[in-house]
Structure 1
Amino acid sequence: MDRVAKLASQKAVVIFSKSSCCMCHAIKRLFYEQGVSPAIHELDEESRGKEMEWALMRLGCNPSVPAVFIGGKFVGSANTVMTLQLNGSLKKLLKEAGAIWL
C-alpha cells in the first residue's frame, strides 16, 4: 500500500495499468488526448505488480486496473474517469493538479 501511495504522488496523473487491458489503453489515450503526460505503471511488467494490484483492490478499485490518481488522490477506475470526462469535471481536476494549464 505504501508503494502505491508513493508512486501515486510522484506526478500529477498516475495510472496503474496492465499492458493487455483494453480499458487501460482507452483511459491512457483519453489522458494523452487531453495533453496530459501521465506516469504509467504496468502492473504485469512490474516485479511487485501483484502486491500493488492487491493494494489497489483494497482501495476499492474493482477491477484493479485501470486505477487513476490525480494530484496524488485516488479518482477511480475507467467508469469514474469516463463519467468525469462526460460531465466536464475531469479537465477541472487536471488543471487543479497542474497536469494541464489550459
Structure 2
Amino acid sequence: MERVTRLSSEKAVVIFTVSNCPMSHSVTSLFSSLGVGAAVHELDKDPRGRDMERDLARRLGRTPPVPAVFIGGKLVGSTDRIMSLHLSGKLVVMLKALTMGSRLVAAGAMWL
C-alpha cells in the first residue's frame, strides 16, 4: 500500500504500532532510550489503520504485524528482529551508519 511506503520513509526510523500492544510499547521505548526520534504511527487510531495493518501483515508474513519497524525506509522487522539486533550491538551501529541518499541522517535518527 502506498500509504505505508510513504509514511515509512518520512523519518529515519518509523514504527507502526497499536496503542494497547505491550510489544509495540517495548520497541518504542527501546528506540526512545537510545535517543531515537522515531515517528510512531498507531494503526488503531488511524482511519486507514486496517488497510495499513493488512499491508504490513503481507510484508511481514505474519499477523499481528505490529510493531513493524522501518529504518531508512526499509522494513527491518518486528520485536524479535529488533531485540536481536539490539542485543548483538548491531542496532546502534545500523542507526549510526544510516544514510539516505548522500545526506547523513544518523544525527536525525539518534543523538550521537
TM above 0.5: yes
User: What SS does structure 2 have at the residue aligned with 1:16?
Assistant: strand
Structure 1 residues 12-57: Cα deviation after superposition (integer angstroms, max 9, x where no partner): 0000000000000000000000000100000000000000000001
The percentage of aligned residue pairs carrying the same residue is: 52
Superposition CA RMSD, Å: 1.0
- Mapped pair 1:11 → 2:21: no
Residues 95 and 101 in structure 1, CA contact (< 8 A), matched pair in contact too: no
1:39, 1:96 → 2: CA distance? Answer: 19
* Corresponding residue of 1:53: 53
Larger Rg: 2
1:101, 1:15 → 2: CA distance? Answer: 18
User: What SS does structure 2 have at the residue aligned with 1:59?
Assistant: helix
* Corresponding residue of 1:100: 110
Please give the residue correspondences for 1:1-102 in structure 2 after superposition, counting only pairs within 5 Å. 1-62=1-62, 63-97=64-98, 98=106, 99-100=109-110, 102=112
Moved more, 52-61 or 9-18: 52-61
2:96, 2:36 → 1: CA distance? Answer: 10
User: What SS does structure 1 have at the residue aligned with 2:97?
Assistant: helix
Q: Per the alignment, do residues 61 and 14 of structure 1 end up closer, same or farther by CA in structure 2, a change over 3 Å counting?
A: farther
- Quote the offset at 1:85 in angstroms: 0.2
User: What SS does structure 1 have at the residue aligned with 2:35?
Assistant: coil
- Quote the offset at 1:101 in angstroms: 5.0
Q: Per the alignment, do residues 61 and 8 of structure 1 end up closer, same or farther by CA in structure 2, a change over 3 Å counting?
A: farther
User: What SS does structure 2 have at the residue aligned with 1:15?
Assistant: strand
Structure 2 length normalisation: TM-score? Answer: 0.87
Structure 1 length normalisation: TM-score? Answer: 0.95
User: What SS does structure 1 have at the residue aligned with 2:110?
Assistant: coil
- Quote the offset at 1:81 in angstroms: 0.1
Residues 18 and 43 in structure 1, CA contact (< 8 A), matched pair in contact too: yes
